[in-house]
Chain A
């Protein structure tokens, strides 16, 4: 089973393309989304480095419940620090950068059925072991799994009012990450042909959840978006009607096609 993937992004209205501070990356089995905190400096580099490393060398987080994550971050934090042009920075930019960059993170990996440990009961039940996905998250970048025109899973935010609170963020500054370890969320689920996964940063996630709560099936609107122009039109319409908060936007759609009857 292979996914079809589409990705779209736009900066906040009023900001330039260079000022877009979200990041996303994906391969066939791994997807990552990160939202660099606008209030911090050099956050876009931090968000970029997190998603890239997740695709190239995912942490063993699903085996050890987060223990390895701290070690996984260390080289990224060192790299971020090395890339800041400290000597050239004016006093305020230096002071700001010393506090570090901050970002949300959502990472998903899709496993294949064959790689799951074989269970003898599967033979008796005459069924295959399911395909399993696993995800972990810090902050309010979200995934939604849609099956048969219904939201099957929403992670890590489950209620729409959670979007207006200040999320915990991963910092490039090791000393600022103490609150992170306890708030790292992990989950897993199964997937099958026909399932669609949406990965998004907070503004679009909030929109999605509100529309979904109102039985408006927002996934159909997002599935209709085929080009960057479609996305830009959709965004400007929703922003004008105050349905979509003015923020950086990232949307990755992962559609598991195949024999959808199975």
Chain B
């Protein structure tokens, strides 16, 4: 059965995040108090890396179940880590854990054990900073992901297939995304093809469409194009999404349209929880 390989240190998997950094990402995201889209996405990516690291932490170290890469596309198309990891593409998770660009201190509400909510200071490591400048060269970003995975896949044929998550607020301004996305999703390990999930984030507060099975309700050709290049969710991820109260059918694809802040985070959470960690 495809998409069932165990994720282990001997057979790690990988995530690539493609982040739209075009000028319009400076507009506020729906579902937030005027927070810029680029800030919301940067927070979501940093939080997601944080969660992934905690998930893979064991005892005093980290098990390298994943390699991770962030690619920003806007005025330039480049690997997007800041600080020590700047310029690096696929980085083993233990190295990511030990190399945040900086660590902020934030407060969050937690339960104190007796049911009372208290404010607690928590460390919030930052690996990725918000940028909003230039156009939307989505095709180039997908090509860069393809180049990286073209080298990675033959070395990891027994691995759970890589997942590429593209987060954007607009239409590609280059020849993308169809030919580049098709080439990317034709790469495959013995366990299945590379998966591409697309998340369109919105400034407008209208109901998001998450994990649709067809493009009937999508409003424009851009949304339909992104749907067309989004991978079907394998059974394991569909079950996981259902248990997290998403409604989705057997042909659901890894696609979200008009996602607000809450749906962006939920979408990313499902996309990166390819389980079966060993």
Contact = CB atoms under 8 A, between A and B. Distances in A.
Contacts of A90: 60, 97-98
Given A14-B278, A90-B97, A96 B113 contact: no
Contacts, number: 44
Contact of B10 (A14, A38, A41, A85): A14
B87 interface: no
A39 B10 contact: no
A130 interface: no
Contact of B54 (A38, A96, A175, A246): A96
A221 to B, nearest CB: 25
A46 B9 CA distance: 24
Contacts of A31: none
Given A12-B278, A91-B103, A246 B6 contact: yes
Interface in A91-145: 91-93, 95-96
Interface string A5-46: 000000010110000000000000000000000110110000
Interface string A49-65: 00000000000000000
Given A14-B278, A95-B54, A96-B54, A89 B113 contact: no
A88 interface: yes
B54 A92 contact: yes
B54 A14 contact: no
A85 B60 contact: yes
A38 B278 contact: yes
Interface in B14-67: 53-55, 57-62
Tell me which of A91, A92, A96 has the highest count of chain B C-beta atoms within 10 A of its own C-beta.
A92
Given A14-B8, A14-B9, A96-B57, A91 B278 contact: no
A39 B275 CA distance: 11
B59 A41 contact: yes
Contacts of A42: 59
A179 interface: no
B183 interface: no
A174 interface: yes
Judged by DSSP, the binding face of B is mixed
Contacts of A39: 55, 277
A89 B97 CA distance: 13
Contacts of B8: 14
A88 to B, nearest CB: 7
B170 interface: no
A93 B111 CA distance: 21
A174 B278 contact: no
A92 B278 contact: no
B109 to A, nearest CB: 15
A22 B57 CA distance: 18
A20 B7 CA distance: 18
Please list the 7 inter-chain residue pairs (A to B) with the smallest Cβ-Cβ separation, ordered nearest first. Answer: A96-B57, A175-B113, A92-B57, A92-B53, A92-B97, A93-B60, A14-B8
Interface of B: 6, 8-10, 53-55, 57-62, 97-98, 103, 111, 113, 123, 125, 277-278
15 contacts: A14-B278, A39-B55, A41-B58, A42-B59, A89-B60, A90-B97, A90-B98, A91-B125, A92-B57, A93-B59, A95-B54, A95-B57, A96-B57, A174-B113, A175-B111
